[in-house]
Structure 1
Amino acid sequence: MPATLFHRFVLIIGFLSLFHAAYSAAQHRSFLRINEQTFTHLPLDIIFQSVGSLFAVMYGVMHIAGDFKEIKASADLENKTWETYRNVPSFYTFNHRGRTFSPFYIHSQHSDESE
């Protein structure tokens, strides 16, 4: 399912609401300090806003992120043969000193330019 404008809107609203809940919690703590009261718990409206915002952010991220892959490492490797495991282009070596040790090596002008 592609990310639509709705999913992005839900994500943005969720983040804004989550930041507002964090700001409200900080304001509540400073209010308690000013009035010299002890902190026991946050008000229920801040807790509900935080949990609802968290679920909205999770919903938006899951739809924007795209398709998830399996956690199993072997899931991507099940359809590959043994030859494809050994075929790693980063290990290819074309200019190496083994050609100078070969009795059949013919030194040509073209091979010196590639070094």
Structure 2
Amino acid sequence: MAFSFVVGVIGGLLLMHAAYSTIQYRAVLKITEEKFSAPPFNVFLEVITGLSLCLWAGLAVPGKFLSILTVSEDNRLASLPGNLDFMIFNHRGKVVALKRDLKFKC
């Protein structure tokens, strides 16, 4: 996990350097009074490399993916909670449903 975290930090640093390089490139273009069309190709490579490193680290750092079993007792979304005292069935949706049935009078 520590290796993946370091890879993510390196990817983030690459993205920040690409942004800084683009800002510097635009400043040079202002001095030379040229029109900005796109950043240089090395900035594109830096962005793609930094993005892929950050994506890889984002998938590797949290850990192993586990499957979701709907028949499991630990899955609280598939079963009702044991304490039903805090379940509220009176909410704003009831008012919206009533207003939807109203008809406009002309």
Task: Compute the TM-score of the two structures, normalised by the length of structure 2.
Answer: 0.65
Runs of 5+ consecutive residues of structure 2 not aligned to the other structure: 87-106
- Percent identity of the aligned residues? 26
**Relative to 1, partners in 2 of residues 1:60 and 1:89: Cα closer, same or farther, differing over 3 Å?**
same
What is the rounded CA distance, in whole Å, between the counterparts of 1:28 and 1:62 in structure 2?
A: 32
In the other structure, the counterpart of 2:43 is 46
Pairing partner for 1:64 from 56, 61, 64: 61
Per-residue deviation, 1:76: 3.7
In the other structure, the counterpart of 1:9 is 6
- Cα deviation 1:11-53 (Å, max 9, x = unaligned): 1111111100111011111211121100111111111011001
Pick which of 51-60 and 61-70 moved more: 61-70
Task: Compute the TM-score of the two structures, normalised by the length of structure 1.
Answer: 0.61
Runs of 5+ consecutive residues of structure 1 not aligned to the other structure: 94-115
How many residue pairs align between the two structures? 82
Q: Which structure has the bigger radius of gyration?
A: 1
Alignment of 1:1-115 (within 5 A): 3=1, 5-68=2-65, 75-77=68-70, 79-80=71-72, 85-86=79-80, 88-92=81-85
Per-residue deviation, 1:69: 5.5
- Cα deviation 1:36-91 (Å, max 9, x = unaligned): 10011111111101100110111111100223456xxxx542x158xx724x1341
